Structure 1
Amino acid sequence: MAVSISRKRPKSSSRNLEAKQSYFGLTILYNFLSRVSALVFLIILIYMWSSFSTLITGNIIHVCFSTRKLNNLYCLSAGTHPSFEIPTSTNNSSPIITPGIDQVINDTDERVANAVKVVEEQLQVHRSWRSKSNKNYATCDGKGIYVYDLPSKFNKDLVGQCRDMVPWQDFCRYLSNEGLGEPIAKLGKGWYKTHQYSLELIFHSNVLRHPCRVFDQTVAKLFYVPFYGGLDILRWHFKNVSSDVKDSLSLELVKWLERQGPWKRNSGKDHVLVLGKISWDFRRSNESPWGTRLLELDKLQNPIKLLIERQPWHLNDIGIPHPTNFHPHSDNDIISWQLKIMRSNRKKLVSFAGAARANADDNTRSTLINQCTSLGNGKCHFMNCSSVKCDEAEVVIELFVESEFCLQPPGDSPTRKSVFDSLISGCIPVLFDPFTAYYQYPWHLPHDHDKYSVLMDKKEVKEMNVVERLSNISLRERENMRRYIVYELLPGLVYGDYNAEPHKFQDAFAITINNLLQRVSTLEQ
């Protein structure tokens, strides 16, 4: 019996043990699934929050865009500069209140309005620096320009690395001819294969020949620092290097400048840097490895920075036009092109040269492409840059010269070189965000943007047919806008060639230099 009992107990114990193990396993599975569910829910909440186009943290507002270059949102942040904050009415001593959705939305709208107000106030300051001279060169009396002879590692040596700069193409052909690139015979005199990142070379070449250039530092009022910071960034974009490597040349530049007498005298306030990439490429954040921290360095807050896209909440960031492919040598080159595009037979009502952004949170582009391609009546032409070589200027310019309106939604960043391509082609740009142009170029575009463009709220794009709405703009309105673009704006949006001899017109470079000299004169007041 004892033996019999001893054999049965293990069976009972075995069943109990299996039950306990089963229960224990189910408990673990339940806890795991509960935690996974909670985690998934949290991730969804974070994703929903991060998808908003406007984010707010404390007194800082971030207007955000998606980009193919970065894994996170690409944000234009106000309130991050040490001496600048958005004028909000936040009272830090108030008790913490958890607001309802309506209250959050109202507070967000108010802060966005305040941020935009700050941007517009800064643009007014920039416009106050405009030179009153309508001549190609303002008088040089007491306004000498000194060009630093930087060590070659800050400019020429960077150009020498052009073959290894971009993995899939030889970048040297774009940087030849002092930044203009190779001529484009098909488009005629003054047209070149200029890359959108060639501004540093073009500006440097022109300022070396400027009549106000002086070789004596003691008589200079404006000091130009020919650092090719855009090329410095570009050479590291597609290489796996550390942030220290990316920042090394920027830090060396600061050390070099600090040894110069003129820099010490005014802490760099009368100095200017011209950078051929967008501001955000020089403002690397802790969350992304993209770009350098050149413009975040404390020592470089005082100089004026001229960029193809400015940071809207930094007063010393000033936007100047993207280089286009047209570089006229004389007044006749400009006049001939003006006559050609005014006489053009614009067979297409609307055109869009670009590509969809597959991973973009803001799908304005996809909506516009769908609207354009679904019409089937010839009113809208979509040039898919995923399959067509849109970097070949003649292809894009020929399309724009035949079009009444050119759609210009934001791309990897708010601004687009294509905006300037459309303007110099006499094609009226259709914008979907004021940061694309209105808050960027106070010296080269007028405050009254209705004279040269159409603005549509991108939030309403899904609710309307953009092409049909543009067709409702009368022929007379279109003609008036086109005449203003071609005869008033176009000459000041292009950079002449390095030996340009215009007398009647001011090009983009002349406007910029005259305004810089005007800005320097205000420092003495």
Structure 2
Amino acid sequence: MAISMSKKKSKPSKKLETKHHQFSDTLLFKILNRIPLAIFLLILIFLWSSSTTIISGKFVHVCVSSRKLNNLYCLSAGTQPNFEIPIPALNNNISTGIKEVVDIVQEVPDPIVNNGSDGEVAFAVKVVEQQLQVQRSWISNKDHVTSCDGKGIYVYDLPSKFNKDLVGQCGDMIPWTNFCKYFNNEAMGEPLVKLGKGWYHTHQYALELIFHTRALKHPCRVYNENEAKLFYVPFYGGLDILRWHFKNVSNDVKDTLGLELVKWLENKESWQKNSGKDHVFVLGKISWDFRRKNDDVSSWGTLFLELDQLQKSIKLLIERQPWHVNDIGIPHPTYFHPHLDDDIITWQLKIIRSNRTSLVSFAGAARPDAPQNIRSILINQCNNPGTNCRFLNCSSGGCDQPESVIELFMDSEFCLQPPGDSPTRKSVFDSLVSGCIPVLFDPFTAYYQYPWHLPEDHSKYSVFIEQEEVRKMKVNIIEKLKKVPLREREDMRRYIVYELLPGLVYGDSNSQLEKFQDAFSITINNLLARVNKIE
């Protein structure tokens, strides 16, 4: 669920839509009986970039659809097909060490053949799961930084064109929307008085600014590069992309700032020392927006993350690219930014005591031009009489006010979280922060995204329903959720509220949390642990 910025919508080119239908109606079905399974897998991986998902549970699905630019979220998530999706060529036994995995040059490998078996599908899943295990191995075993000895964090003072000047373009970044109001209060936005202390109208693309502000005030920040263990590059790459969405400019123009940044870094001794391994970038949009290929004639996104110079650095994003171990997902910013431990405790008590009169809710919009998307099916099931399901229609502006969304989730036992134009949704975190159990349909929505902030055992905090079962009308979502025992719901909610919630929110810029680690603290501590382990 994203903030609805305007009712104005943009349509993709008919050429792109025709191209997708050609894939769906001709190429895919003609090749099914003509190619080995290994080659077929690579074609499925290719189609990933223009589909909702390819891996779901133990199955591979291709859901080709034209990425309609229905709202700003679609713009961020949408991309035209990439013709190469890199998969690290790991051995099937996966005995690769941490350092070796980090150093992998990720290129498309030769077709992998396992004696004619269907092990290639399992291999694709295994690659993702093994990368997540590597990322989890970087998790710090300390709750808080007790000492900054040997843990210096250096924040580059970049030329203003790489960050501050981009913020200064907020007034005309999107033709019909003034972004400037979202950058007030150090990018948290305007206060939401109705929801209480610590609540702000935070934009979903504010991560870069929020993280930068917090990093500048971190107690382990150092001003001498020689004292640093970790180097943070505060490039607002998401804002850089956003400003070009509705402007008719060439790819060269879109790539200019990212290329200039790399040249700037390459002149730094701190970068040269470890080839950028100890450097981190925080990008407030999804990985696909930064992975346009050199030969891609489309106008979508930049090639920033495809640059050879950046392959060894860590990239933190709201949605990671599944084949890159150095892409790590961190939570979308929510509306809640606590200042003190008491702010969190007060909110925990409020939502654990909330009277949840609705069994199920869904805040979102249909995707009428994407027939493979399951949202319309979910909406129809939710709107059936007597289902005790509430639907908040975001396409008609129903989600413009954060209070409406949070109050809906606080009133609901379960919150439906189907993929949109990419697997992840900000709404997943809004529901968790509201104590509403998310119902997921694609493992890439959360399970394969956030290894530092969500547990490996996803049954502790969510319900998973295979979206292919929904698409084929094999399951009634409402009836299935009714069968979840009350005790099980209560256990999940208590785990969400008391175990997960503090680590999913970003405290305000001057937060004084002592008992809890927020999303920022968890991220920084794990980054430091990661740097130590790859040396």
* Count of aligned residue pairs for this structure pair: 467
Shift in alpha-carbon separation, 1:50–1:88, aligned structure 2, 3 A: closer
Alignment of structure 1 residues 380-399 onto 2, 5 Å: 380-399=389-408
Alignment of structure 1 residues 431-442 onto 2, 5 Å: 431-442=440-451
Given that residues 338 and 487 in structure 1 are in contact (C-alpha distance below 8 angstroms), is that contact kept between their aligned partners in structure 2?
A: yes
Amino acid at match of 2:207: L
Alignment of structure 1 residues 130-279 onto 2, 5 Å: 130-135=139-144, 137-279=145-287
- Partner of 2:123, secondary structure, is helix
Shift in alpha-carbon separation, 1:86–1:463, aligned structure 2, 3 A: farther
Quote the RMSD (CA, aligned, Å). 2.4
Tell me if 1:457 matches 2:438.
no
Q: Distance in 2 between matches of 1:257 and 1:185?
A: 42
- Partner of 1:176, secondary structure, is helix
1:113 is displaced (CA, Å) by 1.9
1:72 is displaced (CA, Å) by 4.8
The equivalent of 1:27 in structure 2 is none
Given that residues 112 and 120 in structure 2 are in contact (C-alpha distance below 8 angstroms), is that contact kept between their aligned partners in structure 1?
A: no
Shift in alpha-carbon separation, 1:224–1:42, aligned structure 2, 3 A: closer
Given that residues 353 and 383 in structure 1 are in contact (C-alpha distance below 8 angstroms), is that contact kept between their aligned partners in structure 2?
A: yes
Tell me if 1:45 matches 2:35.
no
Given that residues 334 and 429 in structure 2 are in contact (C-alpha distance below 8 angstroms), is that contact kept between their aligned partners in structure 1?
A: yes
Amino acid at match of 2:410: V
Q: Distance in 2 between matches of 1:41 and 1:159?
A: 40
Given that residues 47 and 81 in structure 2 are in contact (C-alpha distance below 8 angstroms), is that contact kept between their aligned partners in structure 1?
A: no
Q: Distance in 1 between matches of 2:147 and 2:527?
A: 13
The equivalent of 2:60 in structure 1 is none
1:223 is displaced (CA, Å) by 0.4
Given that residues 347 and 402 in structure 1 are in contact (C-alpha distance below 8 angstroms), is that contact kept between their aligned partners in structure 2?
A: yes
Name the TM-score, length of structure 1 as normaliser. Answer: 0.85
- Partner of 1:353, secondary structure, is strand
- Partner of 2:85, secondary structure, is strand
Amino acid at match of 1:317: D
Structure 2: runs of 5 or more not aligned: 1-20, 33-38, 53-64, 70-77, 89-103
Q: Distance in 2 between matches of 1:487 and 1:449?
A: 16
The equivalent of 2:375 in structure 1 is 365
Structure 1: runs of 5 or more not aligned: 1-39, 95-102
Shift in alpha-carbon separation, 1:351–1:49, aligned structure 2, 3 A: farther
Q: Distance in 1 between matches of 2:433 and 2:84?
A: 28
Q: Distance in 2 between matches of 1:220 and 1:42?
A: 50
Name which of 359, 380, 393 aligns with 1:349.
359
Given that residues 279 and 307 in structure 1 are in contact (C-alpha distance below 8 angstroms), is that contact kept between their aligned partners in structure 2?
A: yes
Q: Distance in 2 between matches of 1:303 and 1:361?
A: 38
The equivalent of 1:323 in structure 2 is 333
Amino acid at match of 1:318: I
Tell me if 1:68 matches 2:79.
no
1:249 is displaced (CA, Å) by 0.2
Higher relative contact order (CA 8 A, sep 6+): 2
- Partner of 1:77, secondary structure, is coil
Amino acid at match of 2:242: L
Amino-acid identity (%) = 65
Given that residues 191 and 199 in structure 2 are in contact (C-alpha distance below 8 angstroms), is that contact kept between their aligned partners in structure 1?
A: yes
Amino acid at match of 2:112: S
Q: Distance in 1 between matches of 2:239 and 2:298?
A: 19
1:62 is displaced (CA, Å) by 4.4
Q: Distance in 2 between matches of 1:41 and 1:505?
A: 52
Q: Distance in 2 between matches of 1:448 and 1:201?
A: 31
The equivalent of 2:512 in structure 1 is 501
Q: Distance in 2 between matches of 1:208 and 1:112?
A: 44
Q: Distance in 2 between matches of 1:49 and 1:357?
A: 27
Amino acid at match of 1:367: I
Tell me if 1:124 matches 2:133.
yes
The equivalent of 1:30 in structure 2 is none
Q: Distance in 1 between matches of 2:348 and 2:153?
A: 32
Shift in alpha-carbon separation, 1:41–1:240, aligned structure 2, 3 A: closer
Given that residues 56 and 62 in structure 1 are in contact (C-alpha distance below 8 angstroms), is that contact kept between their aligned partners in structure 2?
A: no
Q: Distance in 2 between matches of 1:350 and 1:113?
A: 33
Tell me if 1:90 matches 2:113.
yes
1:60 is displaced (CA, Å) by 5.4
The equivalent of 2:96 in structure 1 is none
Shift in alpha-carbon separation, 1:50–1:353, aligned structure 2, 3 A: farther
Q: Distance in 2 between matches of 1:281 and 1:73?
A: 12
Tell me if 1:114 matches 2:137.
no
Tell me if 1:296 matches 2:306.
yes
Given that residues 495 and 508 in structure 1 are in contact (C-alpha distance below 8 angstroms), is that contact kept between their aligned partners in structure 2?
A: yes
Shift in alpha-carbon separation, 1:279–1:75, aligned structure 2, 3 A: farther
Shift in alpha-carbon separation, 1:42–1:211, aligned structure 2, 3 A: closer
The equivalent of 2:93 in structure 1 is none
- Partner of 1:314, secondary structure, is coil
The equivalent of 2:529 in structure 1 is 518
Name which of 399, 403, 414 aligns with 2:412.
403
Shift in alpha-carbon separation, 1:49–1:255, aligned structure 2, 3 A: farther
Shift in alpha-carbon separation, 1:60–1:185, aligned structure 2, 3 A: closer
Name the TM-score, length of structure 2 as normaliser. Answer: 0.83
The equivalent of 2:500 in structure 1 is 489
The equivalent of 2:480 in structure 1 is 469
Given that residues 171 and 178 in structure 2 are in contact (C-alpha distance below 8 angstroms), is that contact kept between their aligned partners in structure 1?
A: yes
1:177 is displaced (CA, Å) by 1.4
The equivalent of 1:7 in structure 2 is none
Amino acid at match of 2:399: C
